[in-house]
Amino acid sequence: MKRHLISAADLTRDDAVLILDTAEEMARVADRPIKKLPTLRGRTVCNLFFEDSTRTRISFEAAEKRLSADVINFAAKGSSVSKGESLKDTAQTLEAMGVDAVVIRHSASGAPYRLATSGWIDAPVINAGDGTHQHPTQALLDAFTMRRRLIGPDAGLGQDLGGRRITIVGDVLHSRVARSNVDLLHTLGAEVTLVAPPTLVPVGVETWPCEVSYDLDSVLPKSDAVMMLRVQRERMNAAFFPTEREYSRRYGLDGDRMARMPEHALVMHPGPMVRGMEITAEVADSGRCTAVEQVANGVSIRMAVLYLLLGGNEPAVSSPRTDRTEEK
C-alpha cells in the first residue's frame, strides 16, 4: 500500500480488500466492553479541517482514540484560500510539533496531494475529502457496507464486489464521493452506473469506468445498491435544474421507486440527507436504508486505514523518519 491515502484510485484490489478485511477486525472492537486497542499508543495524529465537517471529523477522531493515538484537532475557520495562514505554514507548524499522520479535509481539490508531495511535511497524509476531487475513506466505508449487507461480515472476508451492480444518483459533478466510489467500486469489480440530470454530469465523464444514464427508473430494477447523493438546494439557483420539485420527481427516491428495486437491494446515502429533495423520509427511515450503518462502519474503516498506514504492528517508539522510503 502507498504511504498516503489521497485518492481511491491509488488502491489496488488487494489493498482495498485488505482494508475491508482489517475493518472487519476493527468492527469487533466496537462490540467489546472496552472499545480500545493499544495499537497507536504514543503516536500523534492531527485532524486538519479547513472545511466544516461534523461527521467525518468525529468519525476520524473516534477511530484515532479507539486505537489509543494522541489526537490534535485543528479546525481552520473558513479556509486557507481566504488569505491568512496558508496550508504550507500550518503544515510546517505540525511538522515542527512532530505529528505522525495528518488527516486533512480541504475545500480545494488537490490540497491533500500538495501536502503529501510538496515537501512541506514528512508524515503520511490521509485525505478526508478535498473539494470536488476525492473522499477515499467514504468510498471504502460504502464498499464495506455493501460487502457486509450483500455477502455477509464473515462470508465477505477476502471477497471483492465482482459482478455487483451499483447505481449512484444525484449531483455527480460536484461530488467527491461519486468520484471515489467510481474508482474504488471499479477496482473491486463492480459495475457502476451514474444517474443524474445532464447538467450535473461532468464533461469528460466518458473516460470514467462506468455507465451514465439520465433515466433513474430504467436502472433501478437492475441495481444491487442505489447510492443517493446529497443535492444542495443552491444548485437550483445556478440553473443546474429548474426547481426542487422537478428534481425530486425525476431523480428523487421515494417509496414507489424503491419498490422497483430488487428485494435485496440497498439504499445508501453518505449524509447529510436532504429529506424531500433526493430522498423521501419514508425511504430514509426504512430498513433498506443503510445511512446510519454507514456512519458506524466509517469508524471501523478509518481505524483500519490508520492502522495500516501507521504500521500499527510496529513498536510505539518508531524508528527515525529518515528511514522511511517514499513510494512515488
* 83 annotated binding-site participant: yes
* 135 annotated binding-site participant: yes
CB of 199 to another protein, least distance (A): 13
Inter-residue contact 299 to 30 (CB < 8 Å)? yes
CB of 326 to another protein, least distance (A): 15
Our CB check for another protein shows the closer of 37 and 108 to be: 108
With H, G, I as helix, E, B as strand and everything else as coil, classify residue 286.
coil
Q: Which ranges in the chain belong to alpha helices (H)? A: 13-29, 55-66, 87-97, 111-117, 136-150, 176-187, 216-219, 234-237, 244-251, 255-259, 281-284, 291-309
CB of 7 to another protein, least distance (A): 9
CB of 317 to another protein, least distance (A): 34
Our CB check for another protein shows the closer of 116 and 289 to be: 116
Q: Which residues contact 10 (CB under 8 A, 6 or more apart)?
A: 2, 4, 136
* 179 annotated binding-site participant: no
Which stretches of the chain bind another protein, using CB under 8 A? 80-81, 86-88, 106-111, 113-114, 117-118, 130-134, 176, 179, 202-208
* 280 annotated binding-site participant: no
Cis peptide before 272 (omega within 30 of 0): yes
Inter-residue contact 91 to 115 (CB < 8 Å)? yes
Our CB check for another protein shows the closer of 53 and 107 to be: 107
- Angle at Cα 176 formed by Cα 191 and Cα 328, nearest 5°? 90
Q: How far apart are CA 287 and CA 280, in angstroms?
A: 14
Q: In this structure, what C-alpha cell is assigned to residue 96?
A: 515542527
Our CB check for another protein shows the closer of 27 and 104 to be: 104
* 159 annotated binding-site participant: no
Our CB check for another protein shows the closer of 3 and 260 to be: 3
User: Residues comprising the binding site?
Assistant: 55-56, 83, 105, 135, 138, 176, 230, 271-272
Could you list the residues known to form a binding site for carbamoyl phosphate, using ranges. Answer: 55-56, 105, 135, 138, 271-272
